[in-house]
Chains A and B, each alone.
Chain A
């Protein structure tokens, strides 16, 4: 019996260590605040941060600091995020060029002149500080650059392989990339846009497909605990805006006619339909934005919530159950990474197809 429980405990610890990013930080949260607060822990992990917090060692945080860049009164102020000493409660003040900065809930505030500590109003918002223009290399920005590098390496090597080969036969990594690129061309671009016009949109479709996919995958790596780039609404907003701009500028006469003066319906109906169609035009990119953001964030929240169960019940007996469930969800998330990249690309292609469709009688 004793050996059995020991085995279970060992297994649990082993499994937990594979999620070291999650579990070590849970314990630190518990230590600092006495009571474990799952909501705070989950939001902390889903949000962007000024450095990669890896784990706690003897009460000290081990993390990779990233540069903080602030634009204050026409001058650039830079320092490493380690100067905050892992503080995100607005307690450690960093002074540069006569300006004082604090990190409060992973947002940098500039203290008003004369103030030496953060003060709060009755709504728990800082009352004597303002947010400067923040162009810091946060962990999301950092991961985005890494993914851009990986994509460049992948595709430049693929292109070079085709150039080297005399019979145009893909070798090495190109053999892996060719079916994926052909999938985007045949299943997404040609089906949705049509044989004659798809070529113009191929670069964009390939870019968003692989960019979203690789960032979704990077978001699942536990050790850099959720540099949750595609679960960041600003990121998905930018991608959806690009799709909107491309759709709007490639819209032909037929497309605009279907929005403002719907053919084939009586005139009162035409007037009634126009505002609805205009709203529909704007809702399409908004739904793209929210779909990607909510799907990826939801996956992260579920895994973190399962992990918090251990600390809410305060027993290790829950650990095997929640770790196995988290593993199950993590495997589903791997499928979701590809499906969401596919859905975003296919819907973008569908909108381009609608915008370029010719009138047919």
Chain B
């Protein structure tokens, strides 16, 4: 197995992690918005920011697997 396919596996694993994280954030944000629609906007923007933090870690992994 060459280095390229290991890097591809790494990118896939990073995608799984990010998917779980962002899914959790999205789900909980939806729930919170349904419970308290009056602060819908605030929850949405904090959910976006948190998703960006989770995504950053996944993107680090992707960039590392690009560089190999």
Contact = CB atoms under 8 A, between A and B. Distances in A.
B59 A343 contact: no
Interface stretch (A48-56, A289-297, A326-334): A289-297
Contacts of B45: 187, 191, 346
Given A342-B48, A347-B52, 15 more contacts: A187-B41, A287-B60, A290-B59, A291-B55, A291-B59, A295-B55, A295-B59, A298-B62, A339-B48, A343-B49, A346-B45, A346-B48, A346-B49, A347-B49, A350-B49
Interface of B: 41, 45, 48-49, 52, 55-56, 59-60, 62-63
Interface in A168-219: 187, 191
Interface of A: 187, 191, 287, 290-291, 294-295, 298, 339, 342-343, 346-347, 350
Contacts of B49: 343, 346-347, 350
Contacts of A346: 45, 48-49
B56 A290 contact: yes
Contacts of A287: 56, 60
A191 B63 CA distance: 32
Contacts of B41: 187
Contact of B63 (A294, A339, A343): A294
Contacts of A191: 45
Given A187-B45, A346-B45, A290 B63 contact: yes
Contacts of B55: 291, 295
A283 to B, nearest CB: 9
